[in-house]
Chain A
Amino acid sequence: MAEQELELTGWRKWFAEIGDQGVFFTRFFKNIFKGGFEWSEFIRQCYEIGYRSMMLVGITSFIMGAVLILQLRPSLESFGQVGMLPKTLSVSLIREIGPVITALICAGKISSSIGAELGSMKVTEQIDAMEVSGANPVQYLVVTRILAVTLMVPLLTVIGDIIGLAGGFLALNIKDSVSYTLYLHKCVDSIDFSDFLPAFVKTIFFGFAIGFVGCYKGFNSNKGTESVGLAANSAVVTASLWIFVIDAIAVQVTSILFYK
């Protein structure tokens, strides 16, 4: 409903925002299970969000993998542990750096674009037009986007991890000569199920947070061109913050479950 916001300030505004997000989440959740899922829009969003972000995630991950090896090498060399480089890289990349970097890139690219797109649709009355025509804008615009991001961020993270390891391999071969099979063997050997699973699960939550924040900010932006920019900006900031909060919680949960 296009109700005008009450003029709230301080804590009351913060609580009102939390309440609004709760209502928005309920609307999203209810609409997942309503009939008539928008499969074509969902697939289009998966393509837009996933495929179109792959290049950026790939390049960043490749550089991150290479830089990590180059940065770690002098430290490990001083202990005579250069052989530990593949293991150190793969554990840090798969457990932490891969998921967080991919999620932050997606927050910057996807959350802002969703916020701006839906904000712009709100300003130009497209969302209202959808609503008054009897169609369901939450089902068409929100459910498809949130689910697409929730699915695509974990996949992008896996791809980013693989490309990051490839970057590490290249950097390692600048000074050393390590065969591909040996490098891969050392990487895979050092990764446990308890390294991969929690990292993968948290990327699902990262994806949900990115999609949800982008949709919420865009869908609830005020009617004015300035609000489109604000929605995009606010989506990036809030989604990034949520990624770190989720990461902090995930570390604690993982420690309790896997590393007692």
Chain B
Amino acid sequence: MEAVKEKKEASKNPKKEAIIVIKGLKKSFGKKDVLKDINLEVDRGENVVVLGKSGQGKSVTIECIVGLLIPDGGSIKVFGDEVTDMNDNQLKELRMKIGFLFQSGALFDSMTVRENLEFPLTRVLKMKDQHEIDERVNEVLEGVGLVDAVDKMPSDLSGGMRKRIGLARTLIIKPEIMLYDEPTTGLDPITSREISELILNMQKKYKTTSIIITHDMECARITSDRVLIMDNGEYIAEGTFESLQKSKNEIAKEFFKDIS
């Protein structure tokens, strides 16, 4: 399929530093080539939204970035280091700088919200001072507006609340990069919008670089600096949300047809 590249509205700032650089990424499952030739650069502080139909390899890309999946070919450099060559300790260090929000929130069922939030602090950052831990927990809970839920179990939370707590848990270690896997899937439009705005606010507050995988056009509109459209294991269109609205690409048109 012919790749369509939309010119970015904003001119390239030479001072920008690409902290995620993916070149020629390939990944297959059995006989299915999920990622064919992925090339992507994400600058520090940038919010990149990846749109695409289900099963096109959007989530696979971000799972390769954190080393959850091993690619079959290509290169992934994060902060200049090659992820595919990293050993367990190097991966662990890298993951301390990356937050990953799963589609389901992935809260630990057997723990309260407080224990969920304390988990990365005590296990990953090895924090021991309970006062400092409490401060961090309160800070992120205030950020997501759920201070009252601190002693609740995940089963007592609604879908939107689970996503917020999931976001709080990833932000509590103050990551430099945030990877969002369909953060608004399964939520009503109002809650989806709230989550999208929260993502943007948190990005401003913590100055993170983000890749957001979504089908939700409202989420893409609110959060994106740049949008990529993925189809059949490749990026077929790239540009700002506004520029892609005018794209001639058929798949891009399908995505944007209901956007006024």
Instruction: Spell out A's residues near B (CB within 8 Å).
Output: 1-4, 6-7, 36, 120-121, 124-126, 128-136, 140
CB distance from A97 to the nearest CB of B (A): 35
Within 8 Å of chain A (Cβ to Cβ): is B187?
A: no
CB distance from B100 to the nearest CB of A (A): 4
Q: Determine which of B92, B106, B107, B123 lies in contact with A128 in the assembled complex, contact meaning CB atoms within 8 Å.
A: B106
B66 touches A132 (CB 8 A): yes
Q: Determine which of B100, B103, B107, B108 lies in contact with A132 in the assembled complex, contact meaning CB atoms within 8 Å.
A: B100
- For the complex of A and B, 8 pairs with smallest distance between CB atoms: A129-B106, A134-B95, A134-B124, A125-B106, A135-B123, A132-B100, A125-B102, A4-B29
Query: Whole-angstrom distance between the alpha carbons of A132 and B65 in the complex?
Result: 10
Query: Whole-angstrom distance between the alpha carbons of A134 and B126 in the complex?
Result: 11
A133 touches B68 (CB 8 A): no
Chain B residue with the shortest CB-CB distance to A139: B123
A134 touches B120 (CB 8 A): yes
Within 8 Å of chain A (Cβ to Cβ): is B79?
A: no
Residues of B within 8 A of A2 (CB): 63, 68-69
Known contacts A121-B109, A124-B104, A126-B108: does B30 contact A132 (CB below 8 Å)?
A: no
Known contacts A121-B109, A129-B106: does B68 contact A135 (CB below 8 Å)?
A: no
Chain B residue with the shortest CB-CB distance to A4: B29
A interface SS class: loop
7 contacts between A and B (CB under 8 A): A2-B63, A129-B102, A131-B68, A133-B170, A134-B92, A134-B96, A136-B123
CB contacts under 8 Å to A, within B106-139, are 106-109, 119-120, 123-124, 126
Residues of B within 8 A of A6 (CB): 30
CB distance from B90 to the nearest CB of A (A): 11
Q: Can you name 8 extra interface pairs (CB under 8 A) apart from A131-B68, A133-B124? A: A1-B70, A124-B104, A129-B102, A129-B106, A130-B108, A130-B119, A133-B100, A134-B173
Query: Whole-angstrom distance between the alpha carbons of A86 and B202 in the complex?
Result: 72
Instruction: Count residues of chain B with CB under 8 A from any CB of chain A.
Output: 29
CB distance from B117 to the nearest CB of A (A): 11
A1 touches B68 (CB 8 A): yes
Query: Whole-angstrom distance between the alpha carbons of A132 and B30 in the complex?
Result: 24
Residues of A within 8 A of B126 (CB): 36
Within 8 Å of chain A (Cβ to Cβ): is B98?
A: yes
Chain A residue with the shortest CB-CB distance to B34: A4
A132 touches B173 (CB 8 A): no
Query: Whole-angstrom distance between the alpha carbons of A40 and B120 in the complex?
Result: 16
Q: Determine which of A7, A131, A133 lies in contact with B30 in the assembled complex, contact meaning CB atoms within 8 Å.
A: A7
Chain B residue with the shortest CB-CB distance to A128: B68
A126 touches B120 (CB 8 A): no
Residues of B within 8 A of A36 (CB): 123, 126
Q: Determine which of A3, A120, A126, A136 lies in contact with B107 in the assembled complex, contact meaning CB atoms within 8 Å.
A: A126
Residues of A within 8 A of B66 (CB): 132
Query: Whole-angstrom distance between the alpha carbons of A2 and B123 in the complex?
Result: 21
Query: Whole-angstrom distance between the alpha carbons of A126 and B96 in the complex?
Result: 17
B95 touches A133 (CB 8 A): yes
A4 touches B120 (CB 8 A): no
A133 touches B29 (CB 8 A): no
Residues of B within 8 A of A125 (CB): 102-104, 106
Chain B residue with the shortest CB-CB distance to A44: B110
CB distance from B230 to the nearest CB of A (A): 19
A133 touches B173 (CB 8 A): yes
Find the residue from B93, B104, B173 having the highest chain A CB count within 10 A. B104
CB contacts under 8 Å to A, within B52-74, are 63, 66-70
Query: Whole-angstrom distance between the alpha carbons of A129 and B41 in the complex?
Result: 25
Q: Determine which of B67, B104, B119 lies in contact with A135 in the assembled complex, contact meaning CB atoms within 8 Å.
A: B119
Q: Determine which of A3, A126, A140 lies in contact with B123 in the assembled complex, contact meaning CB atoms within 8 Å.
A: A140
Query: Whole-angstrom distance between the alpha carbons of A143 and B96 in the complex?
Result: 22
B100 touches A129 (CB 8 A): yes
